[in-house]
Amino acid sequence: VAMALAGQYPLATALQRERAELARGVEPREQIDAQLALALLARRGGDLQGAEAGYRGVIALAQQAGDRLAQAQAWSGLSLARKNLGDYYEALEAETAALALRSTLGPDAKLHSSYVNLAALYEQLEDFDSARDYQARALAASTDTPDPLDRASAQVSMAGLLNDSGAAYAATARVLALDAYRRQRQLG
């Protein structure tokens, strides 16, 4: 995935395909991780149908392996692909499935990320009350995670929504954004 960030999608894709093949039938977690990476690369590369197929494949593979976290990650990825395709209602269904799985897992489940994704979907549907509600849930859920950047991420997301919600929310948005910036700087 690091190569993809550097713009080397074909090489990153080839390496993940090789990783998936090497792990097939031997190391289910590695195969699942490689398939998740391939779906992500497809989505970031603009192949939304390929990404959707990839995420659906990961959901099935993760179900067979009993890996609920990977299932949740794949449902969230599928939600983003459906959102990118403009199908917000299917995206909501997929993210709701991810949230249901994440809520049964421990602190490493990144529950806040499903809330952030749901907030973004409701914002697209212009249901700003629901969007703010899910953002508030994301902030609350990010407080208890082991990753200190989760809180900053949730704060940035909430600040963006509040900033777009009008002048009445500007001061709160600024406070959240500044605190997130401070947290990120402290963590390097």
Q: Kindly tell me if the per-residue pLDDT of 73 is higher than 90.
A: yes
The pLDDT, as a whole number, for residue 119 is 95
Higher pLDDT, 159 or 144: 159
What single DSSP character describes residue 25? T
Rounded to whole angstroms, the Cα distance separating 150 from 129 reads 23
Question: How confident is the model over 87-143, as pLDDT tens digits?
Answer: 999 999 999 999 999 999 987 889 999 999 999 999 999 999 999 999 999 999 998
Mean pLDDT of 34-50: 91
Residue 81: in which H helix or E strand, if any? helix 68-84
Higher pLDDT, 48 or 143: 48
